[in-house]
Amino acid sequence: MATCFWLRSCGARRLGSTFPGCRLHPRAGGLVPAPGPAPGPAQLRGYAGGLAGLSAALLRTDSFVGGRWLPAAATFPVQDPASGAALGMVADCGVSEARAAVRAAYEAFCSWREVSAKERSSLLRKWYNLMIQNKDDLARIITAESGKPLKEAHGEIFYSAFFLEWFSEEARRVYGDIIYTPAKDKRALVLKQPVGVAAVITPWNFPSAMITRKVGAAVAAGCTVVVKPAEDTPFSALALAELASQAGIPPGVYNVIPCSRKNAKEVGEAICTDPLVSKISFTGSTTTGKILLHHAANSVKRVSMELGGLAPFIVFDSANVDQAVAGALASKFRNTGQTCVCSNRFLVQRGIHDAFVKAFAEAMKKNLHVGNGFEEGTTQGPLINEKAVEKVEKHVNDAVSKGATIVTGGKRHHLGKNFFEPTLLSNVTQDMLCTHEETFGPLAPVIKFDTEEEAIAIANATDVGLAGYFYSQDPAQIWRVAEQLEVGMVGVNEGLISSVECPFGGVKQSGLGREGSKYGIDEYLELKKGR
């Protein structure tokens, strides 16, 4: 089992309601800010500078297939999670549009695979440059459709663009091998070749980065892609399509087919079972991942799966409390707790437990500010929809009914139906839902433990294993625990573990394969031997 360790060193840098009049209207295949009444002072504070002045070219509503913007027979609304207001109507692609996109990708693959690695590298670099040039508009699109605080949205755009930069460089490092055989006069040659058309299905919580992490690798390898973005956040995928076109990525190499929740199942099945598709890459729930694996099995397609997690965050008695609290804030409450690597279970050793809980509660009250993502100072935006809020509420109520104590938070926020207070629970036990279901929200449940062996047993008592974190100043313990945690990525005295240079992925039912890093491109390459 390969695991990526993050060990924090001194001085390590860290990344740092309704919007009236900011609805988006379809116009010439794109979107423009809608006219509306002048907002009052409180409303203005909530969205000033949000979507006003965005480039109309980046605000697209049609599908992008074979280098063309194509409408669909129907459309579906995309909503602002902060207010519930419609942002715009987007093409609702169905099975026929999905199959057409696959055909376009396959036709493009026949020529794209022959393009030199240097040229593919150059085009990806141009795409990266355009993302950086348009970073402010791209960030505002993310905040509008996902609710993510604008500062975090800017961070995502850099993270997203860095994958294109990274894989533009990796495109020129796809090497083969020459193997000495038992026969003195013979050698074997190993080539790496692109697998073909890749079906890419991405989630809403990182609507830009989850695309470039997959597509950058695929395109660098010589593959073509059909992207089905999450129905909640299609605008980011379509904006990337516009920039890919501007960068000179050939028609059919990057295709986007947005669809509604109603059509998502059949569209996903269509692209994953199409015989012209050779590869499936998916980020999302373990349940959906298993369905897609069944689709892939019938035609034995290559798959990459980044699925659910239940990350433990362990604080040992030897830990630096202030450092652990800072890491807990970063790990738990990034994107309002809506990331697959967010800490889901806090395991704190008895000797440091009370001090940690007290400091954590104080830090939450001081540093976490709930609000509209466009509002300056907001660190906690809305959850993606009311169903997500209901799950957090269910986990809190279940825990309290079984003896947990609410230290801070614990209820819906007055700002709106999709907002929930950052919540800290103590006296949590392993029979509570929040300890064995991924919450995907701003809930931090704390379990008290006595020994290292007990903490490891609790942390590993799950069928998933994406990320894990722990804080300790004991060098021997650091190595023991890092090796014993059954996860694909470990943060050691560190709460943020994602980087384009490092492999991202999990073990057990948290997925298959790795994304990013020098290993990410291998997911889109086949080995061919010659003698």
Instruction: Please give the chain's pLDDT, 531 residues, in tens.
Output: 556 666 664 333 333 332 223 333 333 334 433 333 333 323 323 333 345 678 889 999 999 999 999 999 999 999 999 999 889 999 999 999 999 999 999 999 999 999 999 999 999 999 999 999 999 999 999 999 999 999 999 999 999 999 999 999 999 999 999 999 999 999 999 999 999 999 999 999 999 999 999 999 999 999 999 999 999 999 999 999 999 999 999 999 999 999 999 999 999 999 999 999 999 999 999 999 999 999 999 999 999 999 999 999 999 999 999 999 999 999 999 999 999 999 999 999 999 999 999 999 999 999 999 999 999 999 999 999 999 999 999 999 999 999 999 999 999 999 999 999 999 999 999 999 999 999 999 999 999 999 999 999 999 999 999 999 999 999 999 999 999 999 999 999 999 999 999 999 999 999 999 999 999 999 999 999 887
Residue 3 lies in a domain: no
For residue 140, give the CATH number of its domain. 3.40.605.10
For residue 317, give the CATH number of its domain. 3.40.309.10
Q: How many CB atoms lie within 10 A of CB 483?
A: 11
Q: Are residues 481 and 523 in the same domain?
A: no
Residue 47 lies in a domain: no
Q: Are residues 265 and 331 in the same domain?
A: no
Q: Are residues 324 and 233 in the same domain?
A: no
Residue 80 lies in a domain: yes
Q: Which structural domain range is residue 436 located in?
A: 312-499
Q: Are residues 408 and 425 in the same domain?
A: yes
Q: Please, is 58 exposed, middle or buried when counting C-beta atoms within 10 Å of its C-beta (0-12, 13-18, 19+)?
A: buried
Residue 152 lies in a domain: yes
* Catalytic residue annotation: 306
Residue 336 lies in a domain: yes
Residue 504 lies in a domain: no
Q: Are residues 405 and 490 in the same domain?
A: yes
Q: Are residues 300 and 331 in the same domain?
A: no
Q: Are residues 237 and 316 in the same domain?
A: no
Residue 181 lies in a domain: yes
Tally of structural domains, the chain:
2
Report helix angle 117-133 to 150-170, nearest 10.
170
Amino acid residing at 383: L
Q: Are residues 78 and 193 in the same domain?
A: yes
Q: Are residues 103 and 116 in the same domain?
A: yes
DSSP 8-state symbol, 53: T
Q: Are residues 351 and 264 in the same domain?
A: no
Closest CA to 409 of 398, 422, 427, 396: 422
Q: Are residues 190 and 206 in the same domain?
A: yes
Amino acid residing at 21: G
- 100's CB contacts (< 8 A; 6+ apart) are 65, 66
Residue 25 lies in a domain: no
Q: Are residues 384 and 424 in the same domain?
A: yes
- 368's CB contacts (< 8 A; 6+ apart) are 329, 333, 379, 380, 422, 442
